[in-house]
Every structure is written in C-alpha cells, then in structure tokens.
Amino acid sequence: MDARILADINAARQARKAVAVATDIASGKQILLNSDAQIADGLRQHVEQRLKSGKSGVVTLHDKETFIQVHVPSPRLVIIGAVHISQALVPMAQACDFDVLVIDPRTAFASAERFPSVELLAEWPQEVLDDRPLDAYTALVAVTHDPKVDDFALQSALQRQCFYIGALGSRKTHAKRLARFSEAGIDATAAQRIHAPIGLDIGGASPAEIAVSIIGEIIATLRKGPVV
C-alpha cells in the first residue's frame, strides 16, 4: 500500500473518521475514498453501503472489478448516568467490542468502586463532549432521569448524528422531554430518532434485563438500521 494512503488511514483512525481504499483488481491502482473524494455515482453507492456495514469486499461496475477495503472507527458507547442499569450494561457492551465511556457528574454514583473496569468521568456531559465530540459511530444512552444531566447529551447526539440514541423514561416523561427540545429549537423530526422508552420490548424489569434490551437494540441498529 502506498505510504501516503497508509498515513491518511492512520490519521482518519485517530480522528474517528471512516475511509475506504478502492483497488482496481486488474491494474492494482489504489485510491483513498473519504468525504472529500470525488467518487463516481455507481461506485459511491457501494462505498456508502460498505462503510455502513463495516464489511470489505469486491464490487463489479461496468465489467470492472474493484476491491473496497473499509476502515471504520470501532463502535463506541457513551453512557450518561452511573446507575444500576449502567453497571449491567458496561460489561455487555465491552463483550461486544464497544469502547465504553460512562459520564456522570454525581460523584456518589460515579465511583471507581462501582465501575472498576471502564473509563469513568465524574463531570458534566457538556464538559466532556466539548472536548470529545460524539460521532456517527457512537451510540449514546442517557439513563439518569435528570434533564439537567441527560438533555445536553441527547441534543448533542442528535446534532452529531449518533447511530443510536436512547433515553430512559416513560412515554409521558419522553413527551415532556420532546417539549423541552422543541422549545430549544430541536427539529421534531430529528428528535424522533431518540429511542424512548429505551431498549427492545422484551418485558425487562431488572437492571440486567433492561441492559440486555438496550444492547440488543443498539446492535440491531448498528447492523441492520433503525429498529421499527
């Protein structure tokens, strides 16, 4: 692989940006495809599909075979709220190869004793997410039940096009949340991307069961698109 292409791939990895390398199988010529690249319409669709799925492969276009090798960021889960559900959710997400970050300004909850094996920040979400912005390969879960903690993170997730956004709470609680977001100028259609009540409808009651429903919904959204 060309050294310049390799350097660009490494830079994209550091910035959590997705790129692809297209290799003409007949000639061996390679080009880097990113958001700034000029991509033929026929090839663009294949590249976008493979970047979404995270799977490399050969495509045929106009009797020409091209190998598309994708380089996408590892999926990340940001959990707002160091609660009992989060304690169950963290190891499940880690077992599924998610990079996990837990944020909660409430030091009574955000303690290393309760979360010994994950990155934990006892800070306000706005303090963290300004320096470590969300992206399209991130899932955000807000589970504090406190608008002062959850709302900024949820709005940031909408603006940053996180692939999954979920919030704990009843339909009544979520209706109040949507009203607050409307007053803040958040587009109603965009706000519908928030999964609330959170998780797949499996009848979960305990924190562990609710965590199972959440990680299941996150994975389904990542691999198959929004859960309907």
Residue whose tokens read 């390398």: 21
User: Quick one: 54 and 85 in the same domain?
Assistant: no
User: Quick one: 101 and 186 in the same domain?
Assistant: yes
Residue 158 is part of which domain span?
76-224
Q: Which of 55, 71, 87 is the last residue of a domain?
A: 71
pLDDT at position 117 over 80? yes
Weakest-pLDDT range from 62-66, 166-170, 204-208: 62-66
DSSP for residue 75: P
User: Quick one: 63 and 81 in the same domain?
Assistant: no
- Residue 35 is predicted with a pLDDT of 60
Distances (CA, A) of 99 to 23, 61, 76, 89: 30, 36, 5, 12
Distance CA 196, CA 175 (A): 9
Name the token pair of 121.
């920040």
Weakest-pLDDT range from 66-70, 100-104, 108-112, 196-200: 66-70
pLDDT at position 227 over 60? no
Output the CA torsion sign for 48, 152, 16, 197. negative
User: Quick one: 85 and 8 in the same domain?
Assistant: no
User: Quick one: 143 and 219 in the same domain?
Assistant: yes
Q: What is the pTM of this model?
A: 0.82
- The angle, 0 to 180 degrees and rounded to 10, between the axes of the packed helices 171-183 and 147-159 is 70
- Residue 228 is predicted with a pLDDT of 44
Contacts of 103 (CB under 8 A, 6+ apart): 78, 79, 80, 81, 110, 120, 121, 123, 125, 128, 153
